[in-house]
Amino acid sequence: MNFIDLFCGVGGFRIAMENACLKGGVAPECVFSSDIDEAAREVYRANFGHTPHGDITKTQAGLIPDHDILLAGFPCQAFSICGEGKGFADARGTLFFEIARILKTKSPRAFVLENVKRLKTHDGGNTLRRIMETLAALGYSVEARALNALDFGLPQKRERVFVVGMKGPFTFTWPEGRAVMTPLADILETNVPRRYYASEAIRSARLRKFRGKAGAGGPAIWHENKSGHVSAHDYSCALRAGASYNYLLVDGQRRLTEREMMRLQGFPDSFKPLGKYTMVKKQAGNSLPVPVAEAILASLIKTRLLGAKPMDRKKKTMGRPPAGSPRQNQI
C-alpha cells in the first residue's frame, strides 16, 4: 500500500497508516513526505529514516511517485477558533488547493484529510462545502465527520474533522469509537524534574480561579481557557501548539512533559521527540490523535482498498535524491 504524507509534521498520520496496514495484512510504504517546518522534518528523519521534502508549493505534482492513498493534515490555523479564522483569506488556508492539485495529477485511489472541528462551521459551512465540491469535481466520493479522541481511548478531548475520499461511488463505514479511555495515570510520568513545575505565583493564581473538584482521587489536568476560567478533568483538553506554557497543569502544579504530550496524541514510547520543550510542545499540538486516524484508515482498507486491483505501474520511492541531480533541482 503506497502512500504519501503531506504536511507530515512529525509523522502521526504515518504511524496511523502503518499500524492500520499491518493490522489489515497489507505492507505499507511511504513513497513521499513533505513539510515546510525544518525542525519537524528533522524529527521525522530521526524516527522514520528519511527527510521529508520542504515547501509543497514548490514541488511539481508530476514528480511525486504514484501512490494508492494520500494523507494530509493540512494547516488548521486559518480555520481554528484560537487563530484568526480567516480561512481561504489566509495563505495557510489556501494550502488545501495544493492537495487538490496533487490529487488531480496523480489520481490516487483514496485520501484522508484532517483539520480542526471548526472547519465544519467556518464561514457558515461554506468553507467545508467548497472543499467537498472541489474534491467531488476530481472524481471522488467524499464524506466528512468530526471525531473525538476521547472516544478512541486517548485521555484528551480533541475533536477533529476527517475527510475521506475514494474514486468512484462508495459507502464508507465510519469507526464508532467506543474504546475505553486510557486512565490519565497511565499517561503521566513519575519523578518529574522540578523544571516542569509552575511557579508558586502561577499555582496560587490557578487555585484562586479554580471552582470545582480536583478529580475523584486520581490525577487531573487543570485547564485555563481563553476567558480565564480554570477547570479540572480526568483527561486533558486539546493540546495547542501556540498556547501558553501553563494553560494545562497536572493537578494544578506542573506542565506536561514531552513524553506525556506525545502519549496524549497516541504516539508510542518508541517515538523520539527532539529539541527544546517549546518545539516539542508545538509539534505535539500540531499533530493528530493517532488512534482516531488509524481507525479511519483501517475501515477504509477493509471497506475497499483490499478489494481493489494492485497497481500495475512501476513503483518508485521519492526519497532525497543525490545533491545536484536534475530531480532535486526541479523540486
For the stretch 200-257, pLDDT in tens is 999 999 888 886 665 557 899 999 887 788 999 999 999 998 878 889 999 999 999 9
Please determine, for residue 165, whether its predicted confidence score (pLDDT) is greater than 50.
yes
81 against 159, higher pLDDT: 159
One-letter amino acid at 304 equals R
Mean pLDDT in residue range 55-70: 95
For the stretch 301-320, pLDDT in tens is 987 655 544 334 344 444 43
Give the integer Cα–Cα distance in Å for 57 and 60. Answer: 8
179: cell is 474504546
Could you say which of 8, 21, 30, 76 is catalytic?
76
Element (H, E) at 55: none
Q: How far is CA 64 from the centre of its chain?
A: 22
For the stretch 110-141, pLDDT in tens is 999 999 888 888 778 788 888 999 999 999 99
Lowest mean pLDDT among 10-24, 264-278, 293-307, 316-330: 316-330
Give the integer Cα–Cα distance in Å for 83 and 226. Answer: 12
- Residue 141, pLDDT score: 94
Judge contact between 123 and 90, C-beta under 8 A. no
Please determine, for residue 107, whether its predicted confidence score (pLDDT) is greater than 80.
yes
How crowded is residue 173: how many other Cβ atoms within 10 Å of its Cβ? 10
Mean pLDDT in residue range 84-90: 43
Percent of the chain with pLDDT over 90: 67
How crowded is residue 63: how many other Cβ atoms within 10 Å of its Cβ? 13
- Strands (DSSP E) contained in 122-229 are 140-148, 156-157, 159-167, 221-224
Please determine, for residue 147, whether its predicted confidence score (pLDDT) is greater than 90.
yes
Mean pLDDT in residue range 263-280: 97
Mean pLDDT in residue range 271-293: 96
pTM value? Answer: 0.86
Give the integer Cα–Cα distance in Å for 297 and 111. Answer: 9
- Residue 52, pLDDT score: 97
- Residue 83, pLDDT score: 45
Mean of all residue pLDDT scores within the chain: 86
- Residue 302, pLDDT score: 87
257-276: b (≥16 Cβ within 10 Å) or e: bbbbbbbbbbbeeebebbee
Radius of gyration of the CA atoms of the chain, in A = 20
Beta-carbon-side half-sphere exposure of residue 146 (alpha carbons within 13 Å): 11
- Residue 328, pLDDT score: 29
CATH topology of domain 2-177+285-322: Rossmann fold (3.40.50)
83: cell is 487563530
- Residue 311, pLDDT score: 39
Cite the residue boundaries of each domain of the chain with CATH code 3.40.50.150.
2-177+285-322
Determine the length of the chain: 331
Q: How far is CA 265 from the centre of its chain?
A: 9
Give the Å distances, CA to CA, from 266 to 110, 224, 311, 331: 24, 23, 31, 33
Give the integer Cα–Cα distance in Å for 155 and 151. Answer: 9
Please determine, for residue 261, whether its predicted confidence score (pLDDT) is greater than 90.
yes
Beta-carbon-side half-sphere exposure of residue 149 (alpha carbons within 13 Å): 27
Q: Is 76 a catalytic residue?
A: yes
306-316: b (≥16 Cβ within 10 Å) or e: eeeeeeeeeee
Phi and psi angles of residue 37, each rounded to the nearest 5 degrees, phi first: -85, 120
